[in-house]
Amino acid sequence: MKPSLLDILLCPSCGQERLNLQDAQVEVLDYGGVPTEEVRAGRVVCADCGTTLPIQDYVLSFLDVLPAGIHRDGEYWGDYFRWFVDQGCYGFLDLRCESWPFLPQKVVESMPFEGPERGGIHATLADHPLIRDSRRVLDIGCGTGWTSLYLGRRGFDVVAIDPSLGCVQMAKRHAIEQGVFVEYLATAPGYVRFRPESFDTVFAFHALHHAPDMPTRIREIRELLRPGGCIAIDEHVQSPRLPGEFRAALMRWVDAEVLPAYQGTLPADCELPPGASTHEDLGQGEILPAIHRAFHIRHIHFRYVFLDIFGDVYYLKSGRDAVAAQHARETVGILLNALQETCPQDVEYVTLIGQKEADLPAIPQPGLEDVYARYGSLFNPRPGIPREGASHWTALPRRALHIVWYDGLGDLFTEIRSYIRWRTQRMRAR
């Protein structure tokens, strides 16, 4: 942690700015030939309320102020990603490293990619004209750091947060080894405070759908951005029945017909850690409505993701033929575009850039008429079922009424089945 982080940080408990370093062990690290002072260990203490935050392995930790549910979520994801690293897979740490998408099925096979690192939506958003000249950016839900490291290499001044101390410590160690400075904090939205207008852009890649109380979180993000700053996300906004069932059927075929020829490298008892994410998809149905009311939408694109894995599957099915795999990806793209034409309300993900203006946007926003015509229901709040620690006993009935009102009884039954499956998985994990 750089001592200068305190210039933008406020106390998470009282919101005051009088934060002091105590017992700081300062070291000089080399980032691309630039000597940089960082605090390896120590404490940050609020002079007003006494809140104390430890610094461990260059990472400022807010774990003591996180609710138990978010803390457990962080531990689950820390165990999950640590398992991949322990098997020698570093793709979640660095886009320059190989990705082993079928490692949980005991297949140690990497997928080919062109150029020095894997591309994707992260690159599209970072290169957008409204974002590419940003200076300080916040990366929410960074996990083990593949997005924040990419942004740091692009020249952004990156502050990255995640509730898993294990994840951000892994990310920090790797960033130091790569000579790229990223400021990593072990915390979650709503439990860290920065000075208003501290950031030019806030990124969130596949992370916000875990966050409870989405409208409040989005208002907080708006306060963090300077005038004209942007929120840039790629997020899971709903879980339609058909894509989920289709992908499950596809994976049954993959497990039976494709992967057995590549298995056997890992021992039979090498299994992912048990458990489940307690906040999975908790806020997915509120992301788009909350951003829509707080930011002027400058870019928006919806898509399906349930067939994204097929290119990798076909790479293996064809005997590691990269050309055949690329043809399979192009074919899948055509099919998904056709599916989106016929079933736009069943899309799974949204990529979006929203800009902060002096005034909140008019609702409906001008210029989005075609988007409303195709995806209108996605702009209505659809809170997820509270997985754990619901605020009071009416939460589930309210959610049920919401689904019936917007989607009908069929979707309610689908949601109930999903909830039962989730609860069964949780009980087995215990």
Residues 6+ apart with CB under 8 A from 233: 203, 204, 205, 208, 287, 291, 350, 351, 352
Q: What is the pLDDT of residue 426?
A: 44
Q: What is the pLDDT of residue 267?
A: 80
Q: What is the pLDDT of residue 277?
A: 85
Nearest in space to 141 (alpha carbons), one of 125, 122, 161: 161
Give exposure, 130-161, as e/b (b: 16+ Cβ within 10 Å): bbeebebbbbbbbbbbbbbbbbbbbebebbbb
- Mean pLDDT for 8-31 is 96
- As a whole number of angstroms, the distance between CA 5 and CA 27 comes to 15
Q: What is the pLDDT of residue 69?
A: 85
Q: What is the pLDDT of residue 241?
A: 87
Task: Write the burial class of residue 418 (CB in 10 Å: 0-12 exposed, 13-18 middle, 19+ buried).
Answer: middle
pLDDT in tens, 368-401: 999 999 999 999 887 665 444 434 344 456 556 6
Q: What is the pLDDT of residue 268?
A: 75
Q: What is the pLDDT of residue 422?
A: 47
Q: Parallel, antiparallel, or unpaired: how do β-strands 34-46 and 52-56 relate? A: antiparallel
- As a whole number of angstroms, the distance between CA 218 and CA 189 comes to 9
Which backbone phi and psi does 37 adopt, to 5 degrees? -80, 130
Could you tell me the domains of the chain?
A: 1-56 (no CATH), 58-384 (3.40.50.150), 392-430 (no CATH)
Is the predicted pLDDT of residue 407 greater than 70, yes or no? Answer: no
Comparing 16-20, 269-273, 315-319, 361-365, which segment has the lowest mean pLDDT? 269-273
Q: Parallel, antiparallel, or unpaired: how do β-strands 225-236 and 199-205 relate? A: parallel
- As a whole number of angstroms, the distance between CA 208 and CA 220 comes to 13
Q: How confident is the model at residue 405 (pLDDT cuts 50, 70, 90)?
A: low
- The radius of gyration computed from the CA coordinates of the chain, to the nearest angstrom, equals 22
- Mean pLDDT for 220-237 is 97
Q: What is the pLDDT of residue 163?
A: 96
Is the predicted pLDDT of residue 43 greater than 70, yes or no? Answer: yes
Comparing 184-188, 331-335, 424-428, which segment has the lowest mean pLDDT? 424-428
Nearest in space to 292 (alpha carbons), one of 240, 350, 225: 350
Asked if 69 contacts 389 with a C-beta cutoff of 8 angstroms, the reply is: yes
Q: How confident is the prediction for the chain on average, in pLDDT?
A: 90
The DSSP bridge partners found for residue 204 are 140, 233
Q: What is the pLDDT of residue 368?
A: 97
Q: Work out the number of other CB atoms within 10 angstroms of the CB of residue 425.
A: 12
- As a whole number of angstroms, the distance between CA 330 and CA 324 comes to 10
- Mean pLDDT for 84-99 is 95
